[in-house]
Amino acid sequence: MLNDCSNPHLVLRLAHTADVHLGRAFGYLGEAASEHQARLKRAFQRVFELAQQHRCDAVLLAGDLFDHPRVGRAWVEFALTTIADSRLPTFVIPGNHDPAPHHPFHTHSLPSNLHYLPRAARVRFHALDLELIACPAGEESDWQPLLHRERSGAPFQVALMHGSMPSAGGAGTIQPDWVAQSELDYVALGDWHSPQGWVYERTVCWYSGAPEMIMPTQRLPAVMLLVTLAPNRTAQVQSLVTGEARYASNAPDGILSWDISSYEGLQTLLSDLRNLLTPETVATIRLTGFWRALEPLDVALLVEQLQGACLWLELEGAYQTEPLEPRTPFEHALAQVAEEAIAKAPHEAAHYREALQTALYLLRGGRL
């Protein structure tokens, strides 16, 4: 039984987010780091704007609001001001990046609409007909006994957890059986940066993902979740875009294949690739086909030239090159030396030809 509320028209709308990582340095983004920190702030504000637009009754934040316990005071004050200004009841648990013993909230006064839940516990909020099971990081041993439906509890019973489901990378701190047997209305998860959900029996369970790009491997654009609960119905979950980071055009999975066979030089290729990029672009571009131009294709140089035009870029070399032919007298002399060496040691022909190609490549400005 999902819930036993006597009011058949009661509906509860919840905004679910997690893994905001306010205060993250984004060192891997280089000069783009400070602007991306601003995007992160805007994404956090957008969570509350969308929650208000969709008439949410509360906001659930499933851990890692902060990137680490020692974030600057300005980051903490930004978070508290954003939450206070929304006037929405907001429920926050610690994550593994902002654990309870050293959470930044401990040294600040909290607004009245912020409910910080640092310990594993069941907490009832009568005004919302909601019972929350807080399962913060660091208290995993206390989770399982709490994960069940109280028959005399609130009409809506929801778990707020920060931990990992089992995956190919490990066993995880959350066991699917706990969720399947809980009979809860919804389990709001934090820890994974991309959204992912499951349904166990009638309990719906989702990672919201981060509201903005934290690492370029996560799914984009980043989202929050709008969760609608109604009596005797399975929770309905809708994603709402919050992040500004985007994949390159025509690359729905983040990987764009680009055929380089028709290019006669590096500058034209560089110009075309730059036209694909914006300051918000996160791109993996796979270069395919044949490189037939006389000058070497220096992928590292391409990345250096293009990185400033986007947020993050990776170039994959999946192309083939035509054998380089000697053009100058010096190159012809090298080729003659290689042929003489092959004539003396035919069994080493492949090595000598490879050495000649490497020499021609370097002579024309290529880099190893």
Query: What CATH code is carried by the domain that includes residue 126?
Result: 3.60.21.10
Could you give the percent of the chain with pLDDT greater than 70?
95
Q: Quote the domain boundaries for residue 154.
A: 12-244
> 């002579």: which residue's tokens?
363
Q: Is residue 305 part of a domain?
A: yes
Residues 268 and 337 both lie in one domain: no
Give a yes or no: residue 2 inside a domain: no
- Residue 148 sits in the same domain as residue 297: no
Asked if the structure places residue 17 within a domain, the reply is yes
Lowest mean pLDDT among 8-12, 184-188, 304-308, 323-327: 8-12
pLDDT at 361 over 50: yes
In a domain, 264, yes or no: yes
- 3 occurs within a structural domain: no
pLDDT mean across residues, the chain: 92
169 with 277, same domain: the answer is no
Residue that finishes a domain, picked among 244, 273, 292: 244
Q: For Cα atoms 90, 152, 180, give the angle at the middle one, nearest 5 degrees.
A: 70
Reduce the DSSP state of residue 361 to 3 states and report it.
helix
pLDDT attached to residue 367 = 65
Virtual torsion, Cα 27, 33, 38, 40, nearest 10 deg? -50
Which of 174-188, 258-272, 314-328, 342-356 bottoms out in mean pLDDT, i.e. has the lowest? 314-328
Count structural domains, the chain. 3
Clarify whether residues 112 and 140 are in a common domain: yes
CA distance readout (Å), 195 to 129, 192, 221? 27, 7, 11
> For the residues 161-186, what does the mean pLDDT come to?
90
3: pLDDT strictly greater than 60: no
- Are 37 and 185 found together in one domain? yes
- Size of the chain, expressed as the number of residues it contains: 368
Residue ending a domain, among 209, 226, 244, is 244
Is 27 a domain residue? yes
Task: Map tokens 């001001």 to a residue.
Answer: 81
Q: Is the pLDDT of residue 4 over 90?
A: no
Predicted local confidence at residue 8, as pLDDT: 42
Q: What is the pLDDT of residues 280-330, one digit of tens each?
A: 999 999 999 989 888 888 899 999 999 999 999 999 988 878 777 888 999
Q: Are residues 237 and 251 in the same domain?
A: no
Q: What span, in angstroms and rounded, lies between the C-alpha atoms of 198 and 28?
A: 32
Stronger pLDDT, 169 or 300, i.e. the higher one? 300
In a domain, 5, yes or no: no
Q: Looking at 1-15, 159-173, 262-276, which range is the least confident one?
A: 1-15
- Evaluate if residue 92 carries a pLDDT over 70: yes
Q: pLDDT digit string (tens) for 107-121?
A: 999 999 999 999 999
Tokens of 224: 């929050």
Q: Are residues 140 and 167 in the same domain?
A: yes
Of 2-11, 238-247, 326-335, the range with the lowest mean pLDDT is 2-11
**Whether residue 27 is found in the same domain as residue 132:** yes
Q: Does one domain contain both 218 and 292?
A: no
| pLDDT value of residue 1 | 35
Same domain, 60 and 182: yes
7 in any annotated domain: no
Q: Quick one: pLDDT at residue 168?
A: 64
Clarify whether residues 271 and 340 are in a common domain. Answer: no
Which of 216, 244, 272 is the last residue in one of the domains? 244
pTM: 0.87
